[in-house]
Structure 1
C-alpha cells in the first residue's frame, strides 16, 4: 500500500489506500461506509468518489477498491487494481471473468447479512405459525373472534443453503425444538442441521414431503434456478409454508401462483420475487396468505459496520503479504 497520509477527499495526487465507489445500498448513505472504514484504518487514506468522473480518475492508481457494482468503464480505467471488495454477498453481477484475467482478487460480503436475515426468517415463520396476519386483519375490522393457530415446536424446517445465512437461521431456530434438514451441494460435509442432504433425487423429494417450513437461503445457480417448481409444490404438504430470502428465480413464479390458488401450500413469505420488483398488477399481491417484503431482509443498521470489519482486515493482510495474501471472504474465480 502507498505511504499513509491524512487526505480523505479526491483532491490529492497520491493514490488512496482504499477507494470507495459512490453507490450505496438499502437507502443508507455511502458516506457512512467510508467513515466506518476510516475508523478502522486511521493510518490509511480512505477516499470516497462521489461522481462517475471521480471514480474513473481515482481508480487509475487505486489498488484496493470497494463498492456494490463494478462498471465496465471502471475496469478499463483501472491500471493497478489488485483487490475489488464487493459490498454484496452475491457477485454474479460482476465481470468476474475479466477481473480474473486481470489478476484481480475479489471478495464479497458473506456473513454480513447473517443476523438480520436470520431474524427475518424467524419472524416470517412465527407470523405464519401464530397466524398474526389473521389477527391483524381482524383487528382492522375490529372483530373480537378467536381463530386457530399452529405451534412451531415439533415442526420440520428445511433450509436450502447452509452458508452464513442458512447457519444463522439454524442458530435462531435451535431453542424452538424443531427438526431441521439442511440442503447443500456437498452433504458429506455435514452441517448444523439434524440431517443434511443434497439437491435433487429421492432424498430431496422426501424432505419436501415432510417439511412444515421450507426456507430458501441459497445462491442462484444452474442447480437452484427453478428448484421449487410445480412438482415440488405438489410434493409439499398442504400445511407447508415457503420462505424465500434467496433469489426470486429459485422459485417458478407461475407454479407458486398455481400452488396458492390450489391450496397446495399454506402460504409464502417472499422477500425476493421473479420478476423483481413485483409489478403492481401481479396476482401475488392479492393473496392474504402471502407476505411480501421488497428485498428488505438484508437491511440492517449494522451493514456498513460489519462490512468495514472485513475490509480493514483484508487491507492489513494485503499490507503484510501482498499479492499472496489469503483474503477473508475471497471469491474463488
Structure 2
C-alpha cells in the first residue's frame, strides 16, 4: 500500500504531475517533524519517503520510512547526526555541482599560480604592479577523489595542457585516457610528492577524515599548492597552517572548511599565501536546477518501482 511522501519546500520544484500520475500523496512542508505532519492532517506513521531532507529532520520518528533523498551532494552530515535508520535507502544530489566546483578549483589554481591577489591589492592602490608569475601549462595536477567533480576538473585541466593524475578509492586500470590513476596510501603519497597542484574533491567519510595530515603535507613540494573544494576535515587544518607558515607548501585555496562559517579568529583569513572562499564554489542557478532534476527523476523512479539514482553506500559513507 502506498504511503505519503514529504517534500521539503524547494523553490522551483513541481512534483504535482508525478504525484497525480502515481496516485501518491506528496505533501510540501517547511519542517519535517511528526508534529508538523499532525498539524497538516498527515499521518506520520504513513510517511514512506522524505525528499530534500536534512540530517536535522526527525527522520527516525517515521516508522514506515523507506527512502530519504538528501538535498545535498555530500551526505557526511547524516552519519555525524547518528546515521540512517536501518532498512532505509539514502540517495543524494551528488553530481549537481560538479561543473561549477571544477570551475572554482580551476579559478583558485589560476589565482594562486598568478598571485592574483597581488593585482587586486595593487588595483585598490591604483598601482601598476607588473611581475613574473606562473602558468598552468605543463604543470602536474593531482586530484584526490576521482568522482563527478574530479573527472570534470581533469577534463578542464587537460584543456589547459596540464598533466593529470588522480587518486581513486578503489583499484582500477592504471589510466583513464590521458589521466593517470593511483590507489591507496602509497598512491596518495606518490600523488602528493609529484604534483604542482593538489585538489581535494573527495567526500568526507570516516576513511577520508584527516586523510592529508602533517606527514602527507611534508611529502608535497615546497612550490606546490593545495586546494580544497569538497569538504573540510579531509585535510588536518592545524597541520596545514603550520605547512603554510613554514613554507612547507607554497599556498592554498580553501572553499571547504572544517568549521563553517570559518571562525573570525582562523589564521587562514590573514595568511598571505591563502585564498579563502565561503563554500561558495557550486552556488549557481544551474546547480540548483540539476538538483531539482535529480529529485524529480528519482521520485519518478520511486513511484514506478525502478532503481534510484545516486544511492549512497552506507558502509562507505557516500
Q: TM-score, normalised by structure 1?
A: 0.82
Tell me the equivalent position of 1:187. Answer: 171
- Counterparts in 2 of 1:31-42, with a 5 A limit? 31-32=11-12, 34-35=13-14, 37-38=15-16
Asked if residue 224 in structure 1 is aligned to residue 232 in structure 2, the reply is: no
Paired residues in the alignment total 305
What displacement does 1:278 show? 2.0
Q: Could you give the per-residue CA deviations for residues 196-254 of structure 1, whole angstroms, max 9, x where no partner exists?
A: 111312x4323212211100011123332222222222221111111001222111112
In the other structure, the counterpart of 1:63 is 48
CA–CA distance in structure 2, aligned partners of residues 270 and 290 of structure 1: 7
Q: Does the C-alpha gap of structure 1 residues 21 and 292 become closer, same or farther in structure 2, counting only changes over 3 Å? A: same
CA-CA distance at 1:133 after TM superposition: 1.1
Which SS does the other structure have where 1:120 is aligned?
Answer: helix
Q: For the residues of structure 2 that align with 1:148 and 1:306, how far apart are their CA atoms? A: 40
1:171-194 alpha-carbon deviations (Å, 9 max, x no partner) = 221211111110012232554662
Show the counterpart of 2:132: 148
Residue 29 of structure 2 is aligned to residue 49 of structure 1:
yes
Would you say the 8 A contact 1:241–1:266 is kept in 2? yes
Do the aligned partners of residues 47 and 305 (structure 1) sit closer, same or farther apart at CA in structure 2, a change above 3 Å counting?
Answer: farther
- Which protein is richer in strand relative to its size? 2
SS of the residue 1:219 aligns to = coil
RMSD (Å) for aligned C-alpha atoms: 2.5
Give unpaired runs (5+ residues) of structure 1.
3-14, 23-29
Partner of 1:90: 74
**TM-score, normalised by the number of residues in structure 2:** 0.86
State the SS of the aligned residue for 1:291.
strand
Matching residue within 285, 296, 301 for 1:312: 296
Asked if the contact 1:170/1:193 (under 8 Å) is kept, the reply is no
Matches within 5 A, 1:1-333: 16=4, 18-22=5-9, 30-32=10-12, 34-35=13-14, 37-38=15-16, 43=21, 46-51=26-31, 52=33, 53-55=35-37, 58=42, 59-71=44-56, 73-76=58-61, 78-94=62-78, 99-101=84-86, 103-189=87-173, 191=176, 194-201=179-186, 203-321=187-305, 325-333=306-314
